[in-house]
Structure 1
Amino acid sequence: MATATPDLVFRPATEGDVPALVELVESAYRGEASRTGWTTEADLLDGQRTDHESVAETLARPDTLILLAERAATGELLACCTVERRGAGAYFGMFSVRPTQQGGGVGRAVLAEAERHVREEWGAASLEMTVIVQRADLIAWYERRGFRRTGELSPFPYGDERFGLPKRPDLAFETLVKAL
């Protein structure tokens, strides 16, 4: 685990970043590589977390930004997230930190930059996300950063392999929200 936040630079993703984004997201959530960090979903899901087509579609959507965090000295991609305008608020998703960098402040820095962007650039009053309810450690991490659980649940898309292959029958998402 990293012990200090490296100097980061933030920038919007471009089409040329899609392959690196897919690799980053997959490494953070699925397979053995993801077990290096603490955000793995490998015990809940097999299969893919995302693919080139869905990342490219996200990148092309209006009112959506894929934010990259790179090591300032080398340009190495360390983390990413997506923010999307939704009325007076914004949605936060596809949050991924390279497993070897988890626990060292990179995630906190990316979340803070995403919050700053949607608040200052878009005038968003809140930031919303969905998290698999079985991810108690991750939900607790977000709660420590000011998000609150809403109790609003939505079903996991069972049968749609684009979202992975569930290892259990009770997966669901809960909406979390933070006032900005």
Structure 2
Amino acid sequence: MSQSPSLRFRAAAVADIPAIVALVESAYRGDSGRLGWTTESDLLDGQRTDVEGVAALIGVDGSQVLLAEHDGALLACCHVAVKQGDGYFGMFAVNPLSQKAGLGKALLGEAERIAAQEWRCPVMRMTVIEQRADLIAWYERRGYRRTGQFEPFPYGDERFGIPRRDDLRFEWLAKNLAQVSA
């Protein structure tokens, strides 16, 4: 784990699950999500995650839900894992009232450090809804590149939300982690 004077990173425990679910939902859905710039409220209704989904990520080898806290308050989270030898980054959420303060960049950097240095992953990969142009541009500014690989959105599976349009799909982004492990 890493720590700075104002921001502390740590792996989530089972006791953190309700707070993680609340944070992810607040960042991506409903009116609270509209307070920040990462909302998916125009694309999806319904849930973004649930207790069972988060619980399945905790305590698994090669998987960590990473938390960013300030004075004990949860401000941001993400899931980082090893999948097929590469790092995988997902479930990224920053409290809408704390966005644009550099928390997301710091948390992404810590996730990349874990994947590169602790797990020796050569690449970090993630999926982003293709229609999220501002978010894709944010990742591109941090060294991620569009791969041209896509996956269909899981229409009909409400665990991933209720689509408000019929053209959603995920695009894979990737970043070489060689410079992170140096």
State TM-score, norm by structure 2.
0.93
Tell me whether 1:170 sits opposite 2:167 in the alignment. Answer: yes
Q: Is the 8 A contact 1:92 1:128 kept in 2?
A: yes
Runs of 4+ more than 4 Å apart: none
**What amino acid maps onto 2:45 in structure 1?**
D
| Cα offset, 1:89, TM superposition | 1.4
- Match for 2:97 among 77, 97, 100? 100
Tell me whether 1:152 sits opposite 2:149 in the alignment. Answer: yes
**3-state SS in 2 of match to 1:22:** helix
Identity across the alignment (%): 60
Q: Is the 8 A contact 1:81 1:93 kept in 2?
A: yes
Task: Provide the rounded CA distance (Å) in 2 between the counterparts of 1:46 and 1:6.
Answer: 37
**3-state SS in 2 of match to 1:93:** strand
Deviations 1:98-145 (A, max 9, x none): 000111100000000001111111111110000000000000000000
**What amino acid maps onto 1:38 in structure 2?**
W
Task: Provide the rounded CA distance (Å) in 1 between the counterparts of 2:5 and 2:41.
Answer: 27
Q: Is the 8 A contact 1:24 1:96 kept in 2?
A: yes
Number of the residue aligned with 2:11: 12
| Cα offset, 1:63, TM superposition | 1.3
- Match for 2:74 among 73, 77, 92? 77
**3-state SS in 2 of match to 1:65:** strand
Task: Provide the rounded CA distance (Å) in 2 between the counterparts of 1:85 and 1:127.
Answer: 9
| Cα offset, 1:175, TM superposition | 0.2
Task: Provide the rounded CA distance (Å) in 2 between the counterparts of 1:85 and 1:163.
Answer: 21
Please provide the CA RMSD for this pair.
1.2
Q: Is the 8 A contact 1:6 1:106 kept in 2?
A: no
Number of the residue aligned with 1:62: 61
Number of the residue aligned with 1:90: 87
Task: Provide the rounded CA distance (Å) in 1 between the counterparts of 2:123 and 2:6.
Answer: 27
- Match for 2:125 among 128, 137, 153? 128
| Cα offset, 1:7, TM superposition | 1.6
Task: Provide the rounded CA distance (Å) in 2 between the counterparts of 1:11 and 1:60.
Answer: 13
Superposition map of 1:136-147 within 5 A: 136-147=133-144
Residues 60-69 or 15-24, more deviating: 60-69
Task: Provide the rounded CA distance (Å) in 2 between the counterparts of 1:166 and 1:173.
Answer: 13
Q: Is the 8 A contact 1:46 1:165 kept in 2?
A: yes
Please, which runs of 5 or more residues in structure 1 have no aligned partner?
A: none
Please, which runs of 5 or more residues in structure 2 have no aligned partner?
A: 178-182
Task: Provide the rounded CA distance (Å) in 2 between the counterparts of 1:88 and 1:26.
Answer: 29
**3-state SS in 2 of match to 1:59:** coil
**Alpha carbons of structure 1 residues 42 and 116: separation in structure 2 relative to 1, 3 Å:** same
**3-state SS in 1 of match to 2:81:** strand
